[in-house]
Structure 1
Amino acid sequence: MLKKVTLPVMVIVLAGCSSFDQGPEGGHNVSWYLHHQEKMSQELAWCNNTTGRDKLESCKNAQTASDKALGYNAKRTLRSLGNAL
């Protein structure tokens, strides 16, 4: 009986430790956002939706990734073109 109760309680406790208060895609670093740019855009939209969210760590990371995305995408394109030649 104790095992049947313990598992659901642990799931609820661990769910409370999630990064949901950091946005829909919160809790990730800049590199993750660069590799998941659609999710980065969703996070930035959430961050810009309400005043003060820009101070959250996930919003800062998503914004930094967004600032770096043009250069990151250009390097990836050049690398793939080099491989194709």
Structure 2
Amino acid sequence: MISYDDLQKFYQEVRYGERFGRLAIEQVFTTVLQQIASMYTDKPVVRYQKFMQAYFDISQRIPQYYIASYVGVKPQSLSRIRKRLVL
């Protein structure tokens, strides 16, 4: 976490700091847009599969209701999705 003032200091003192900041926020912006589009175009099972591909390493360490929230379904629905994928 970084404060606004520290971020401004970073931009001023680090060579190419502003470019780094712009590139970083572009990456975040495009990722968020893809996730939003996915909520409208992909089925929940596809969103869950994408989550597992991207974040498999942390999927075993966080509660399932967080994953369900990220995927945009209720925990009960996520449980059914996971059960269908295992079969």
Fold shared per TM-score above 0.5:
no
TM class, shorter-length: 0.3 to 0.5
TM-score by length of 2: 0.33
TM-score by length of 1: 0.33
Larger RCO (CA under 8 A, 6+ residues apart) = 1
